[in-house]
Amino acid sequence: MQEVKPSFYILVKRFTPDCWLMLLLVFFMKAGQFMLLPYLALYLTRTTHAPVDVVGVVVGIGSLVYGLLGPFNGYLIDKFGRRRVIITSVFFAGLVFIFFNVERTLTYYFCMNMLVGVTRSAFDTAARSYKIHSMDLELRRVWFSVRFVVNNAAAGLGPVVGMFFIQKNADILFVINGSLFVFLSLIILFYMKQVDDFSETLAPPSILQVFKTMLNDMKLFCIVVGATLMWLCYVQLDSMFGIYLNQNFSNGLEILTWTFVVNTMGCILLQIPMARFMARFSEKLQIIAGTIFYMLGFLIIPLVSHISALLFASLLVVFGEVILSPLVDLLVYKLAPTNMMGSYYGALALSMIGVGLAPMVGGVFYEYLSAKALFFFCVFLFLLMGLLLQRGIKKDI
């Protein structure tokens, strides 16, 4: 007789109050980031009148620092605990945003955006590994999916709020953001008391152990490289795709807006049903399905010239995202020893380098080849991503 799995609602009821607090924190942190980041390049261009390529470096440094510091942040999490890292990162993120606009020089903005990357990396790494080894497999799948929905909902709301303030008074936006983060860090300090950081019988790793593990664990290496390729390609939709639409369609901005709507709403509405449906299949089949959706979506973009086909391509990309993004977290969890959970998710944070490199790679293709060549190249990279992620599957858990 086939075992009946608990429903989504029964599993969600098992979330403890501090889990809900964590989800609320993830929402506000992500929304706060997206109030600013999508408009940062425009804001810096207006306030500093610097060349676009220089502004691009200032904007991109945050994501590069985010990825490069991932392993070190993972070590700090395993060494000092998630609670301390979460409180510290949220508090200092608040201070960074409050003082973000004190000076108006590119050097100052460069340093402040670096600090944004530092705090984001520390918080996201700690949040990813929060309490997951105290959950069973089904509850863990739902937790990853719900957190992914919360992230996308915040990413959809943040730019709307940010656009209002950028047009009115951007200085207020920075202060509101920062004050909110400081307030949230105090809430965590008083209400998030119990965090299962690692087994009391296992000592946290040394920093040398962290880097040795990253070099020797080939499954982890394959997952990190695969995730890096995924973000390098996916972020083209946030950078080069808009330029491509504006140059090839008279209503390019309108199409871009609708693709953002499809992406955001699709991720929010489809994540939970797709997670429950795909759980019936093996991880290998899930990776194959997500890879095919990504490849088809990016293959359609350079081959069509109608808005309905482009929206359909965006929907296919959404299916790829909702399948693979939470699955990557699960694959890393299965590999990580209990006392190195933070370190393994810190290694995964290296994949954010793909976000920082995406505009650079896209710009090179756009400048010296063509936008169509870029999207075809992404199709190939998605294929490589799928093969690498399959190599990262751990059979026995």
Instruction: Give the start-to-end residue ranges of the domains of the chain.
Output: 16-197, 208-397
> Same CATH topology for 16-197 and 208-397?
yes
Per residue in 353-378, pLDDT (tens digit) is 888 778 778 777 877 888 788 889 99
Q: Which CATH number fits domain 208-397: 2.30.30.30, 1.10.3720.10, 1.20.1250.20, 2.120.10.30?
A: 1.20.1250.20
Residue 384 has pLDDT above 60, yes or no: yes
Asked if residue 41 has pLDDT above 60, the reply is yes
Provide the CATH number for the domain formed by 16-197 in this structure. 1.20.1250.20
Each residue's pLDDT tens digit, 8-19: 677 777 777 778
Phi, psi (degrees; rounded to nearest 5) at 304: -120, 165
* Span 322-357, pLDDT tens digits: 899 889 988 988 888 777 777 788 788 788 888 877
